[in-house]
Amino acid sequence: MKKAFLTLIPALALSTTVLVAQTKPAVTAKKAPVAAAPAKLKILTKKDSLSYAIGFAMASNLKQQNIAVNSATFQRATKDVLTGQPLSLDEATIQNVLMQFQQEMQAKANAEKSKDGEINKMAGQKFLEENKKKEGVVTLPSGLQYKIIKEGTGAKPSATDQVKTHYHGTLIDGKVFDSSVDRGEPVTFGVNQVIKGWTEALQLMPVGSKWKLFIPADLAYGEFGPPSIGPSQALIFDVELISIEPAK
């Protein structure tokens, strides 16, 4: 009997709590006061303007790179340096902190680049596999693909020649990364001074030709594509071979 009574107590307490909760009048939650916006800083002198501009540039750079800092500590460090106050960290420690941070950022960037590279590589391979089935597309043993838009009648350049060309380069999603056509000025360069896909294609093109090139990543920039391209990207070029230039 005692055991049953003891068991009943928590249940009774629970039911009482629920009953009280149900009979209590509803309490309207008070809204937290909205903090007033800080007063706008008064910029009175050229020095004020420069100081604010430098602070803006530094903070914008940190924000753009997603570098989280304690703003109060950041301001204190700036003040200590500018006013000659004792530093809270000695310079050797500061150098170690910055070096470690740089290594962490580099490792993170490398990991992201590697991941992006794998995604780009797979997308490029899929694109080229489908593209080679299209009418008029020729696939060479190297993996380079081309389609003749206009067949020229002139000579074909050798690897050591200089050529004048017009080109329009895009990623496989259509994003333009470089274009002499858009700039309105053709470009002259050595046949063997460009990416492998170009070097191979140019030696097959008679002067006056217009070809569309589909270049695998390993015949383009590979893992080291510039920021406008990215790692392991297959590229598309519309190329017009205007002339073979005399050696200088």
Q: What is the DSSP secondary-structure string of 120-168? A: HHHHHHHHHHHHTTSTTEEE-TTS-EEEEEE---SPPPPTT-EEEEEEE
Known catalytic residue at 178: yes
Known catalytic residue at 177: yes
The amino acid present at 213, given as its one-letter code, is: L
Known catalytic residue at 52: no
The helices-and-strands tally (H runs, E runs) of the chain is 6, 7
Handedness of CA 119, 122, 127, 130 (dihedral sign): negative
Active-site position among 127, 146, 167, 214: 167
Known catalytic residue at 146: no
Q: Which of 218, 176, 227, 166 is nearest to 197 (CA)?
A: 218
Q: How far is CA 21 from CA 10, 12, 30, 38, in A?
A: 16, 14, 19, 42
First to last CA, the chain: 112
Active-site position among 177, 189, 238, 242: 177
Active-site position among 74, 148, 161, 195: 195
Active-site position among 221, 229, 236, 244: 221
Known catalytic residue at 221: yes
- The catalytic site residues sit at 167, 177-178, 195, 221, 237
